[in-house]
């Protein structure tokens, strides 16, 4: 059955998603906060796009939950898009936005460590296994399609167990971003010594080599900001288009999650009125890390001209992503939003407010629970993972 489904998915990709390369035009192309000109630096543009980590359907990985699916073909596309957005945040955090990937070129250890976070294994912190099982707590059965908001909530929860990257993940509510809440979360004090000691006792093996000492120090935690939006009822409202495109110009941009009903894409930029996206609807075989920790990474980069679609064909349910490594990056983002997004006095794409709305429940920065009861084995590190398997059993829902 898996083989038939795999062939079907690949045929769909070949028949319906093939598009010609970029046209000759004087219009600039915007990719995740960077501007490119096709007439002068087309190769640089394609290099920039191929550097993004590309996560697609995979097959032949270990069954999710021990007895579940061993392929996410047909249902995991939004999860893969969420992985791509998060991976871009981690690239910016550790390697910088201008880092470039080249085939067969030796890459820094941080790059391979990032990639290992997303391998299709139950003990990798952002694997399809962890995301699918965490989705159960969001009301999604394993093998069920996710929407943009569900993926955002899942990433927010999983990030609590990732000490190496130590991200603060903020998912906006009711189309509103609250500056006060974000600063409270990103400047949260470290864990108390008793909680830290208890956590270390539970996961001694994991905390050895991979402990992020910065995670236990005061300071700004790098921010992954996700804004789920509904930009229309059945179709995107044209009034939002300019503001939506403006988001891809911001240096903090991580693109957007969205697509069409039950068909998710990771949008990374635009040209004119066409959105540029990475498509997860290609089924590839499971890839594991080598003994030395490196990963054969060619299948994790899209090395062909990217796909494009008319912005008016976009489903109105989307999620914008932004990454702010330092507080000054967030302050700059707020200024850009005030200037470029909120200048519309009629229908605003979202609101940016200084203070926590008084009619909302109090904001409490999320913290890692001392005992995992979610149904997924949530791990604290991305290294020494095999050592955990005999010591801890993955919880099944």
Q: What region, left, alpha or beta, does residue 382 occupy, with left being phi > 0 and alpha being psi -120 to 50 degrees?
A: alpha
Q: Which of 55, 5, 51, 45 is nearest to 300 (CA)?
A: 55
48, 72, 77, 162: which is the annotated catalytic residue? 77
How many residues would you count in the chain? Answer: 397
Angle formed at CA 272 by CA 269 and CA 277, multiple of 5 degrees: 30
DSSP H or E run through 328? helix 327-336
117, 281, 315, 324: which is the annotated catalytic residue? 281
Q: How far is it, in rounded angstroms, from Cα 260 to Cα 375?
A: 30
Q: How far is it, in rounded angstroms, from Cα 363 to Cα 369?
A: 17
Pairing label, strands 263-271, 274-278: antiparallel
Pairing label, strands 274-278, 307-310: antiparallel
77 given a catalytic annotation? yes
Q: Which of 47, 88, 13 is nearest to 284 (CA)?
A: 13
Transcribe 84-96 into DSSP letters. HHHHHHHHHHHT-
How many Å is the maximal CA-CA distance in the chain? Answer: 62
- What is the token pair recorded at 116? 């290992």
List the end-to-end C-alpha distance of the chain, in Å, as a whole number: 25
123, 279, 315, 329: which is the annotated catalytic residue? 279
Annotated catalytic sites, by residue? 77, 279, 281
């Amino acid at each position: 059955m898996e083989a038939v489904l795999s062939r079907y998915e690949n045929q769909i990709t070949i028949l319906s998603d093939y598009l010609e390369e970029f046209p000759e035009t004087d219009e600039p192309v915007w990719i995740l906060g960077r501007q490119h000109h096709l007439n002068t630096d087309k190769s640089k543009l394609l290099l920039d796009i191929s550097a993004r980590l590309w996560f697609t359907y995979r097959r032949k990985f270990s069954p999710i939950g021990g007895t579940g699916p061993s392929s996410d073909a047909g249902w995991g596309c939004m999860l893969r898009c969420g992985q791509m957005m998060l991976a871009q945040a981690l690239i910016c955090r550790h390697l910088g936005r201008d880092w470039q990937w080249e085939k067969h070129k030796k890459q820094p250890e941080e790059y391979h460590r990032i990639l290992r976070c997303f391998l299709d294994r139950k003990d990798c912190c952002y694997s399809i296994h962890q995301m699918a099982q965490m989705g159960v707590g969001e009301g999604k059965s394993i093998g069920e399609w996710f929407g943009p908001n569900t993926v955002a909530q899942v990433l927010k929860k999983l990030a609590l167990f990732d000490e190496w990257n130590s991200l603060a993940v903020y998912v906006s509510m009711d189309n509103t971003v609250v500056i006060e809440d974000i600063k409270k979360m990103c400047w949260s004090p470290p864990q108390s010594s008793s909680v830290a000691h208890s956590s270390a006792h539970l996961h001694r093996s994991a905390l050895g080599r991979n402990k992020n000492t910065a995670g236990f120090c005061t300071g700004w935690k790098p921010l992954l900001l996700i804004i789920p939006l509904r930009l229309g009822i059945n179709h995107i409202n044209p009034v939002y288009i300019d503001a939506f495109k403006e988001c891809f110009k911001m240096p903090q941009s991580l693109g957007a999650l969205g697509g069409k009903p039950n068909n998710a894409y990771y949008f990374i930029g635009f040209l004119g009125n066409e959105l540029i996206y990475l498509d997860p609807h290609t089924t590839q075989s499971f890839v594991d890390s080598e003994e030395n920790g490196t990963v054969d990474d060619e299948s994790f980069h899209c090395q062909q001209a990217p796909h494009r679609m008319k912005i008016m064909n976009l489903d109105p349910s989307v999620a914008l992503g932004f990454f702010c490594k330092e507080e000054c990056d967030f302050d700059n983002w707020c200024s850009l939003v005030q200037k470029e997004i909120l200048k519309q006095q009629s229908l605003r794409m979202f609101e940016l407010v200084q203070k926590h709305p008084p009619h909302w429940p109090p904001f409490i920065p999320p913290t890692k629970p001392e005992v995992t009861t979610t149904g997924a084995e949530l791990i604290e590190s991305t290294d020494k993972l095999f050592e955990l398997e005999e010591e801890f059993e993955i919880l099944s829902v």
